[in-house]
Amino acid sequence: MRDHHRALIYTMLLVSGAASEIAEAELSVIGDIVRHLPVFHDFERDKLPGLLNDCAELLNRQDGVQETLNAIRTLLPTKLRETAYVIACDLVAADNTTTREELQVLDLLRRRLSIERLTAAAIERGAHARFQTL
């Protein structure tokens, strides 16, 4: 397993855990992301439960959100920062319901990853469009 996999999985759990419970749609999107995104082509899927557990333990610490954001930034190559933000936005958009907590986590992530506001807005709009229903 590579550090960027850990960072991306931590990103997914951070965003998914922003609401009180992880929605089925979010779990489905996490599975799709790990199965289909090129960045995960060499990821050993049997490592996923351990990574999720590690991240959950980190998030449960007193300053867990900040520590998780720090870990994501440290482990993630600059080249994959926008990829992490795309993944985060897809998870928020997946259930067609966005909470204030999810928006706050996206803002924290955007700032920690140094994603420009216009770039972030374009990514957010794309995620919204991908998950739009009638």
pLDDT in tens, the chain (134 residues): 479 999 999 999 999 887 667 767 777 888 899 999 999 999 998 888 888 889 889 988 999 999 999 999 999 999 999 999 999 999 999 888 888 999 999 999 999 999 999 999 999 999 999 988 88
Query: What does the domain layout of the chain look like in residue ranges?
Result: 3-130
Contact between 42 and 8 under an 8 Å Cβ cutoff? The reply is no
For the whole prediction, is pTM greater than 0.85? yes
CA distance 116 to 83: 14
Instruction: Decide: residue 64, CB within 10 A, 0-12 exposed, 13-18 middle, 19+ buried.
Output: middle
Tokens describing residue 112: 């920690």
Task: Kindly provide the b/e burial profile for residues 4-26, where b requires at least 16 CB atoms within 10 angstroms of the residue's own CB.
Answer: bbbbbbbbbbbbbbbbeebeeeb
Topology classification of domain 3-130:
TerB-like (1.10.3680)
